[in-house]
Amino acid sequence: MNPADWLPHRPPFLLVDTLVAIEPGLRASGTWTLRGDEWFFPGHFPGRPITPGVLLLEALAQVGGVAVLADDRYTGRLPLFGGVENARFRRQVVPGDTVLLETEMTKLSARGGKGHGRATVEGHVSVEAELFFILADRT
């Protein structure tokens, strides 16, 4: 499944390559494969490229956005980041890694919500966090 069918994001800021599963309003998962030619690697860090943690959080938020937007109640809305809590970075993500991104909604209302995101590489946790969002109109 193509994330661009659900999200307004576009390259270079669409950070999900493929959607694996969607349960509208509940959870979604997807993958992001880091090829090594991404725009951020030359500066983060020269000679030792590491995916910025904030971009991993954004990728989790994008997957969560798919779970929200797949729910008919939120058609035409725009989920925006509202905050992050309890973010823990446990493994670096480097060129060649494929990240499995999983976000489960734990609270969802007409105004926004909360989800738990987890990114793993080969079964090892890279980052986990609580993600908060608000729902805005797209216009």
pLDDT of residue 72: 96
pLDDT band at 32 (very low <50, low <70, confident <90, very high): very high
Listing DSSP states for 42-56 in one string gives GGS-TTS----HHHH
Q: With 80 as the cut, is the pLDDT of residue 139 above it?
A: no
pLDDT in tens, 55-96: 999 999 999 999 999 999 998 899 999 999 999 999 999 999
CATH class held by domain 3-137:
alpha beta
Position 63, amino acid: V
44 among known catalytic residues: yes
Pair 49, 60: CB distance under 8 Å: no
| Marked catalytic residue, from 9, 44, 116, 124 | 44
Determine what percent of the chain is predicted with pLDDT higher than 90.
96
Band of pLDDT at residue 138, cut at 50, 70 and 90? confident
Q: What residue segments make up the domains of the chain, in order of their start?
A: 3-137
